[in-house]
Amino acid sequence: MNSETNTNTLDILTQPIQPEEIEWRVQMQTKTGKIIVVPYITNRCVMERFDRQFGWANWQNEITEIQGGFLCKVIVTIPATDTTPAQTLFKMDGASRTDIEPVKGGISDAMKRCAVQFGLGRSLYNYPRVMIDTPDKFIPDWASQQLDVLVKKINDGSYRGGDMVVLKASYAKS
């Protein structure tokens, strides 16, 4: 077996998601001058983690177009060992076409949703709700830095906040 891959468990897939593996998206803008943002794993994260977990030649995806979106089936091959035969496993999930780049975005979202079936990024569902105090419709640079700090604190266990986090420009380090 390739020493760079570990297929006995899903430990690489289920490691904490790092700030650079997360894409924060604006979910909504409130009437009180805040935006609510939610974390998503990036598709690059999915491919890199699957490569590290199974080896680049031991997994593949199959995309099927359906009405309004796409299904993604990820198939992994766990190589044989001295005590176990090779196994092929798969998971499937789907997503709608996206508003921006409908085909590419829909395929990417379906693949990310499928990866969650293997445990990748599942912890993001337990993140606190994040509001950013800004009149902007987009995530300001100062907030991106605070989001990275939040992820690091969640990962190292030092986050002591509640179910809601409000980020403000005044909290940003100069």
Q: Quick one: pLDDT at residue 170? A: 87
Backbone angles phi, psi at 150, to 5 degrees: -60, -45
Full 3-state SS string of the chain? CCCCCCCCCCCCCCCCCCHHHEEEEEEEECCCCEEEEEEEECHHHHHHHHHHHHCHHHEEEEEEEECCEEEEEEEEEECCCCCCCCEEEEEEEEEECCCCCHHHHHHHHHHHHHHHHCCCCHHHHHCCEEEEECCCCCCCHHHHHHHHHHHHHHHHCCCCCCCEEEECHHHCCC
Burial class (CB in 10 A: 0-12, 13-18, 19+), 165: middle
pLDDT tier for residue 36 given thresholds of 50, 70 and 90: very high
Give the percent of the chain with pLDDT over 90. Answer: 83
Residue 4 has pLDDT above 80, yes or no: no
Residue 2 has pLDDT above 50, yes or no: no
Q: Quick one: pLDDT at residue 158? A: 96
Q: Quick one: pLDDT at residue 174? A: 55
Residue 1 has pLDDT above 80, yes or no: no
Mean pLDDT along residues 118-147:
96
Q: Quick one: pLDDT at residue 137? A: 92
| pLDDT averaged over every residue in the chain | 92
Which pTM was predicted? 0.86
β partners of residue 164: 129
Are 121 and 112 in contact, with CB atoms under 8 Å apart?
yes
Q: Quick one: pLDDT at residue 79? A: 84
pLDDT in tens, 57-108: 999 999 999 999 999 999 999 888 899 899 999 999 999 999 889 999 999 9
